[in-house]
Structure 1
Amino acid sequence: MTILELLDYAGVAVFAATGALSASRKQLDVIGFLFLAAATGVGGGTFRDVILDTGPVFWVVKPAYLIVCVCVGLVVFFTAHLFESRYRLLLWFDAIGMAAYSVMGAAKGLAATGSPTVAITTGVMTASIGGILRDVLAGEPSVLLRPEIYVTAALIGAAVYTTAIMVGAPLAVASGAGFLAAFFVRGGALRFGWRITVYKPRPGRHPDDVM
């Protein structure tokens, strides 16, 4: 198994775990766990493959990805109650999945098009869409609306990987550097509250005020 395949399976498994953890917070049945685990685990990669239009999406070619999601969903169903703060665990698992998928998405985009711009874009999309889909389906506060850095971390991870590959770095080095860069930034955001300056001069009005 190559480093990219390992990151791909790791990203699917960890994102699937975050989906199942969201199901546990909503006290869903086992089918709800499996659905959220699968939707979150393969959601970002599915969106990436559809955008790149390189053929059947990855889990259609290799159903083992869905089996991974099912297994992870079942494990979380029977063990989620053991964790004191499931939301905190969800965020850290999400950081790992985001970091892995930022690299994997960039790698697939670069392989399909040869364009660094497309590679970085697909890296960000792959790393972000699964978490966004999970939050929408589970009715959780979106990761995009949290104050800490999220998408920027995926952008950095994808950019580091792509830059390293373009300058001739070995695949393992580029993949490891991209993963660590994304996880470091997102982990720092979770641990220390790192954030980018937000827009403050004029807050939005309530829709009723502009009717």
Structure 2
Amino acid sequence: MKIIAKFEQFHLQARQNIWIGYFAIFCRIALAAGFLPSGFVKINGERFTALANNHPMGHYLDALFYTGYYYPFIGVMQMLAAILLLIPRTATLGALIYFPIILNITVLSLAVRFDGSLFTSPLMLTAVIFLLGWDYHKLKYLLPLKQNNTEILLPLQSKNNKFPFVFFGSVFIYMISFVLFITNIYSIMPRNTLAECARQCDKTKHPEACISFCECIHKKGNSLQECLKTYKKDGL
């Protein structure tokens, strides 16, 4: 397929650029730094955050904390993925382990509108996807694609020292667009505390309904979906 051929050519050019290579190293270190502390907390048997149980994420984390050995198991996998990412030879395996974990955290964060990882988890997910693309020459043989048996795993060619302005410009534009998108995707959020939740009410069209929503979350401990329904009903 022409699309695959073009992607493979782009991949080869990217692998030859030292600046994109440095960016891949940065992503590996940053991702490892994100999982090592959280994984250690779980292995140590400590609750991950001090978030109130009434909060939608608090419900989840409290239940997760009391799942027995499953809770430290997640921590072990997080630390394993982080350590493997730091070792060049095992970085691909680390990214493969990292991907489903951060994907779950991203979906969870978006589902409950959790401030703590609403921005970071999608960006971490994007970084992992980049690393998987960076190692496409290894992972391609796991995909149901027609392979050329005579193709070298990654042809050895001279390194390119030219700074990739287009690549890093695209990364910058993506991050700005992402921040704007996340900032405006939700009309109301539970925030982490009742006081923080109430601060946003002055900016909403229906302040009283917003206050009721915050109390529904932080005082009554109802589900996010139930409180959103009440908020929309009161806002009519």
Give the TM-score normalised by the residue count of structure 1. 0.34
**Larger radius of gyration, structure 1 or 2?**
2
Which protein has the bigger helix share?
1
